[in-house]
Structure 1
Amino acid sequence: MARILNVNNLEKSYSSGSKQLKVLQDISFNVEERETFAIVGPSGSGKTTLLGLCAGLDRPDSGEISLCGTNINLLNEDQRAVLRNKKVGFVFQDFQLLQTLTALENVSVPLELQGEKHASVTARDLLEKVGLGDRLHHYPSQLSGGEQQRVAVARAFSNRPDILFADEPTGNLDAITGEKVEQLLFDLNKELGTTLVIVTHDIELAQKTRKILRLKGGKIVSKDISAS
């Protein structure tokens, strides 16, 4: 199976006053197509920074990242944005829905902006898949946290991404609702063949993925094959 994400010798620092704060050191790993992959570690271990680098939202100080067969180090901002729009989906902890749009519009508008002719039909189908067929015309304020995250999941899969990055996707949800959203991510991963990369502090969620990368203090402490 082909690699969809390849990370080699990644380093990242940020300025903190007069000091340089090393956030990631010598990070190397790869993710296969259609795989489920978790990045875990305590707060401050560099998980979210690593996710942003892998998705081309930020640039490393050194090291290489190949995403969907493209060395993103060589791309400018606009080229990376095009790659993300075509190949990448995102789910965030805080949903990031537009409050003035309905559930249907939150999923269909990004598709319309990309020139999708049947955006509304695609959005409706996805919202039905995530169990929100009767909530199409509700605004985010009229939806529960779990329902908002399901809208966000539908939006993330709307462009049929090759890879989906989920940053603490159940972090703002209660345990039961969180489990439903988790199952949704794994079901869509199987159904649509999308590679799933999850950043989480939840070990139980991580153990549902095929591979687990553990970070501590910006360094890899282990790479595990999950028993699940």
Structure 2
Amino acid sequence: MLSVKNISKIYQSGFNKLTVLNNISFEVAPGETAAIVGPSGSGKTTLLGLCAGLDRYDAGSITLYDSLLSELDEDGLAQIRNQHVGFVFQNFQLLPTLTALENVMVPMELQGALNAKKKALALLDKVGLADRATHYASELSGGEQQRIALARAFSNNPKILFADEPTGNLDTETGQKVEQLLFNLNRDAGTTLVLVTHDLELANKTEHIIRLKGGVLV
């Protein structure tokens, strides 16, 4: 599902070069779960973005769902993301002018899916928020917003889900509920899961742990 081989990412700052990731390699098979961990500034989020085709790498190769990302233009990358990838972010990234239901429906409508409203309501029910369907993001708690974001992430039936600190903005109790929901939804859908976290307890719930330090795999 995801094959990362000898990936490096370098940022140019004036005359200086900053190597954020250096020669990273790992694989995640279909249906597996993996966590990327490491201290702040170790390159975790950068690596996740490269794997999801949100940014370009400078060396190596990444194959996502049988597609070599370096061979795709921006439209091709967008198509891969729309058809096969789900995202969950630390800051939820819900659209504030849309209701919970509309936020979940957006990816399905972009794909021209039939019965988008019915499917979105079913997903909201799965995350226990069917009764909040008509509420706007500003009217929901942080935990509720992240549950809406989870429902949205699964709305396009993704083959792989990338989650960046999915419980980072939540208190411990709420975070644990969101974690359980994430793993349950992932298992039921048979989705591959790759998450970034500083929480080793959460990381230990995955099948593989990818440890970074100073941009190097340790």
* TM superposition score category, shorter chain reference: over 0.9
Q: Which residue is 2:85 aligned to? A: 88
* Shift in Å, 1:16: 2.2
Q: Does 2:177 match 1:165?
A: no
Aligned-partner residue type, residue 28 of structure 2: V
Aligned-partner residue type, residue 152 of structure 1: A
Instruction: Tell me the distance in 1 between the aligned counterparts of 2:47 and 2:170.
Output: 23
Contact 2:2 2:62 in 1 (8 A): yes
* Shift in Å, 1:117: 1.4
Instruction: Find the partner of 2:46 among 42, 46, 49.
Output: 49
Q: Does 2:61 match 1:64?
A: yes
Q: Which residue is 2:189 aligned to? A: 192
Q: How many residues align?
A: 218
Q: Structure 1 length as normaliser, TM-score?
A: 0.95
Instruction: Find the partner of 1:124 among 121, 145, 156.
Output: 121
Q: Does 2:8 match 1:11?
A: yes
Instruction: Tell me the distance in 2 between the aligned counterparts of 1:206 and 1:115.
Output: 35
Q: Which residue is 1:112 aligned to? A: 109
Contact 2:82 2:107 in 1 (8 A): no
Q: Deviations over 1:53-86 (max 9, x none)?
A: 0000111001000001111110000001001000
Aligned-pair identity (%): 67
Instruction: Tell me the distance in 1 between the aligned counterparts of 2:110 and 2:86.
Output: 15
Structure 1 SS opposite 2:130: coil
Instruction: Tell me the distance in 2 between the aligned counterparts of 1:88 and 1:139.
Output: 25
Instruction: Tell me the distance in 1 between the aligned counterparts of 2:149 and 2:13.
Output: 33
* Shift in Å, 1:133: 1.1
Structure 1: gaps of 5 or more residues: 222-228
Q: Structure 2 length as normaliser, TM-score?
A: 0.99
Q: Does 2:134 match 1:150?
A: no
Worse overlay, 106-115 or 94-103: 106-115
Contact 2:87 2:153 in 1 (8 A): yes
Instruction: Tell me the distance in 2 between the aligned counterparts of 1:125 and 1:95.
Output: 20
* Shift in Å, 1:17: 2.8
- 4+ long deviations beyond 6 Å: none
Q: Which residue is 1:225 aligned to? A: none
Instruction: Tell me the distance in 1 between the aligned counterparts of 2:13 and 2:71.
Output: 27
